[in-house]
Structure 1
Amino acid sequence: MTQTAKQAGHILIVDDNTDILIAAKLLLKKYYQKVHTTDNPFDIEEIVKTQPIDVILLDMNFSQDAISGKEGFYWLKKVVEQDPSIAVLLMTAYGDIQLAVDAIKAGAADFVAKPWQNDQLLGAVAAAYAHAQDKQKVGQLTRQTQGLNQALNQGAGGKNFDFLGQSAAMQQVFSTIEKAALTDANILITGESGTGKELAAHAIHQASLRRENALISLDMGAIADNLFESELFGHKKGAFTDAKADKVGRFELANEGSLFLDELGNLPLSQQTTLLAALQNRQVTPVGGNKAIDVNIRLICATNDNLQQAVDEGRFRQDLLYRINTIEIRLPPLRERSEDIPLLVNYYLEHFCHKYKRTLSVSDTDLQTLSAYAWPGNVRELAHAIERAVILSEGELLDISTVVGQVTTTAQPSQADSAQSESDQLVNADTFNLEELEHRTVRAALKHYQGNVSQAAKALGLTRGAMYRRLEKYDL
């Protein structure tokens, strides 16, 4: 057998004969990255836990039993139970055809008689290593399939809607997406809350060369800090208290496809370092695991935060920002593309009429009223407003008064004036209903901070999770 370069594999040799351990290690270390040895089979479990073992050369007979091979079969069973992706070669000085057949039936990759010829041993280990790699790939595909099914069962999210716009601002966005999507460049989508960043991510993926594979999404603002690595990189059963089964991370699920990380500006600095290392190495290691998994993803990130300002303030890593924003796409707020409002109103009207089995149209006057409204919650607010109107309207015309109230048809105020106006409404409110006051307060804070959820939450004295629950509660 000829081998000129070392394989990346880790080999473990288990034999109570020191001479065998030394001879096998001297031979195999020329061809494999790491060769571990032990003369005690009780060490196997701990070594497999802490090292990414691919192949185990396992003696069949230790001190308890000289020739039957029962000990070898016992430890073979233990290895298969602990990690079925490891290929096991059983070794014995007492060659027996039936013993070899039984060993392979029990899960061994092959059977090696001692003393061996070097070429024969190298050939057997090479075949076992290739077999282990095949089993690891099958296992990864199986985990990916199971994880993808779980992700799909969580709901389709924003990808049910089309990414629309006919304004000059949106045409510029579409042009940038068309150029960038066909590359593997990392893309950062910026814009206020509700401008359609998730829809843009789906549009990028569908226009990319990876469209046949999955787009996996994760809202970084909605995961607990202690679950960050588990969500992104996965975990092994028993890695922590609630890890009752293996979990596939989002990086692995997105392999060969696209990974969309939403609200990236919410990521703490300590976790930014971990994310940067995964992006640089293109590898992840599940929590509690010891084998790095190669990943090939196209990264799409989104934020409503000003990341350069966050860098200046020490809240975001400059090197991570460089890594994620090869291309930056800014989504304009709806007030900057009011000519798109009639298109969006009619689109969502048709969608929700179909969903709720209604037949409704919108009058020209109401369309003008909707077009004049500032829509601080952007496209998300418009979609929710149309949905509520479809549900509550009577007759054949959409009744917008049920959802948007007295909308002014005058020129739209500036951001500062608009935020101040809503603050004044809070002070002069003629209601003492706590829920209504909370609704107005959250809305005013969002408007004041131009849709930046993190800053609004901080100003209100709320955690990100509590803020998101209120946004959901009030459809903001």
Structure 2
Amino acid sequence: MQGNSEVLVIDDHMKRKQQVELLLQFIGEPCKLVSSANIGEVLTEQVAWRAVVVGQVDIGSPFELVSQLAGQYKAQPFLLIGELGDCVADLPNVIGSVLEPFSHSQMTQMLHRCQDYHLKAPSKTKPTSQHQEILFRSLIGRSGGIQQVRQLIEQVAVTEANVLVLGDSGTGKEVVARNIHYMSARRSGPFVPVNCGAIPPDLLESELFGHEKGAFTGAISARKGRFEMAQGGTLFLDEIGDMPLNMQVKLLRVLQERCFERVGGSTSIDADVRIVAATHRNLEGMIDKGDFREDLFYRLNVFPIEMPSLSERREDVPLLMQELIERLASDHKVTIRLTERALDSLMEHTWPGNVRELANLVERLVILFPNGLIDVNDLPSKYRHVDAPEYDHEYDESLLEQDMLNDVFQNDVYEPPESSMSTQLPPEGLNLKEMMTELEIDMINQALETTDWVVSRAADLLGMRRTTLVEKMRKYSLSKDSA
């Protein structure tokens, strides 16, 4: 069965179908919209969609349609817009419902359940698409850098090439390695990580290659090394830049000859292992200083993947926060919610510890405010980058998330000031859409230049939310460098 990374939306109600599309775009999920009359063209046994969302249909009831489709396509997870009826509640692939008014946290949670259904399905029906099989965690996001990483993972996973993952500490290099293993033909084999910088140099050889009984003092029995433990799977060599030079020579020999011997042994053991290495160091600079072997570098650097730092993908912070919160809620049955200005403040942070720092912050907030609502003033002081008055906790919390999505769902009509432009239609006519787009781009550019490209202040000048302005800047490819 071929996988599809999109969410299929079946609905004959045009306005609600557009709202679902906007919500999915808001959380970074590609989708395809169809009416109930076109189901047969897109829903087949050969394609497994990320999820199938069923809404209102012109003929019959949505319950009847979901019941029929779920029975026919058992490998496909379904979601229903509205409350689940008794006729579909017992179907295992009807995962749940999406209630109105729509909420990004509810939709994200439902899509994660659909992903779990795919992963638990029998292997013969398990889709092979990147989006359905990928471990979300630090790879979630819509920024260009992280999208490129996901694409590179998908391209290299199906090969046997050695991979070198580069990036600062905490960016998620091991997550990349696990995804490469999970999406490869070796997924049924073991994934064995080893931190080359955490093991004393005199023990690293034994740790990697194992030893025979009596090979050295304390070797009271034979022991397998990490290469043997990873046979048929993937060996992840983290912090490869910390490996001593003498071990680099021995590792190079294994990569070249695909065999090794245990310490104190003479029997050659085949190395049926795929190597994924990672480092935060500048290996090419280390080569110039003589601290890293150039020949080993080129053996490892067959397919480099560079993880962007979180400061380079700050627009992904809200989605990462949601993913981390959902994971903690699943593990500990405790959750939190953040106001929009708290998210804006976190997006202004530089994140020197990257995704690891973000995960630690989420866990800290869950401990401090279990099932609570987090505002700017509830954040640790170093994360407060937005001035905000004390939060009024009498405000109806149920409205906060809807406020955050108002800009997505509203179709406000632009009303220019009376003196800003002529209201007379030229005799030759005009392209109103292009005219309004040019006006919007011009006003955004003026606001950004006036505020020296401080996005939050520019958003205030334009009377819109910061997240809305960020989306418009991305839409029109506006950046300080292009100005």
TM-score (structure 2 length as normaliser): 0.50
The answer to whether the 8 A contact 2:137-2:323 is kept is no
- Report the AA paired with residue 363 of structure 1: T
Q: What is aligned with 1:256?
A: 232
- Report the AA paired with residue 348 of structure 2: A
Q: What is aligned with 2:295?
A: 319
Q: What is aligned with 2:279?
A: 303
1:341 pairs, out of 294, 308, 317, with 317
The CA RMSD measured in Å over matched residues stands at 2.0
1:361 pairs, out of 326, 337, 343, with 337
Aligned-partner SS, 1:245: coil
Please state how far the C-alpha of 1:160 moved relative to its aligned partner: 9.4
State yes or no: 1:193 paired with 2:179. Answer: no
Q: What is aligned with 2:470?
A: none
Cα deviation per residue 1:308-343 (whole Å; 9 max; x = unaligned)? 111011110000001001000000000000111000
Please state how far the C-alpha of 1:174 moved relative to its aligned partner: 0.9
Query: How many corresponding residue pairs?
Result: 253
Matches within 5 A, 1:448-463: none
Please state how far the C-alpha of 1:382 moved relative to its aligned partner: 0.3
Matches within 5 A, 1:20-419: 161=137, 163-393=139-369, 396-398=372-374, 404-409=380-385
Please state how far the C-alpha of 1:396 moved relative to its aligned partner: 2.0
Please state how far the C-alpha of 1:181 moved relative to its aligned partner: 1.0
Structure 2 CA distance, aligned partners of 1:401 and 1:278?
A: 55
Structure 2 CA distance, aligned partners of 1:224 and 1:397?
A: 45
Please state how far the C-alpha of 1:395 moved relative to its aligned partner: 5.8
Aligned-partner SS, 2:221: coil
- Report the AA paired with residue 383 of structure 1: A
Please state how far the C-alpha of 1:392 moved relative to its aligned partner: 1.2
Please state how far the C-alpha of 1:357 moved relative to its aligned partner: 2.2
The answer to whether the 8 A contact 1:360-1:396 is kept is yes
Structure 2 CA distance, aligned partners of 1:283 and 1:369?
A: 52
- Report the AA paired with residue 165 of structure 2: I
The answer to whether the 8 A contact 1:163-1:203 is kept is no
- Report which of the two structures shows the higher radius of gyration computed on alpha carbons: 1
Moved more, 212-221 or 359-368: 359-368
- Report the AA paired with residue 345 of structure 1: M
Poorly superposed stretches of 4+, deviation over 6 Å: none
- Report the AA paired with residue 245 of structure 2: L
Q: What is aligned with 1:6?
A: none
Query: Structure 1: any 5+ residue segments left out of the alignment?
Result: 1-158, 411-476
Structure 1 CA distance, aligned partners of 2:181 and 2:283?
A: 23
- Report the AA paired with residue 313 of structure 1: K
Q: What is aligned with 2:418?
A: none
Identity over aligned residues, as a percent?
44
Structure 1 CA distance, aligned partners of 2:237 and 2:377?
A: 37
Please state how far the C-alpha of 1:306 moved relative to its aligned partner: 0.5
Structure 2 CA distance, aligned partners of 1:219 and 1:401?
A: 38
TM-score (structure 1 length as normaliser): 0.51
The answer to whether the 8 A contact 2:309-2:354 is kept is yes
The answer to whether the 8 A contact 1:393-1:399 is kept is no
**Structure 1 residues 299 and 240, CA, compared in 2 at 3 Å: closer, same or farther?**
same
The answer to whether the 8 A contact 1:356-1:391 is kept is no
Please state how far the C-alpha of 1:408 moved relative to its aligned partner: 4.6
**Structure 1 residues 289 and 340, CA, compared in 2 at 3 Å: closer, same or farther?**
same
- Report the AA paired with residue 180 of structure 1: V
The answer to whether the 8 A contact 1:173-1:329 is kept is yes
The answer to whether the 8 A contact 2:345-2:384 is kept is yes
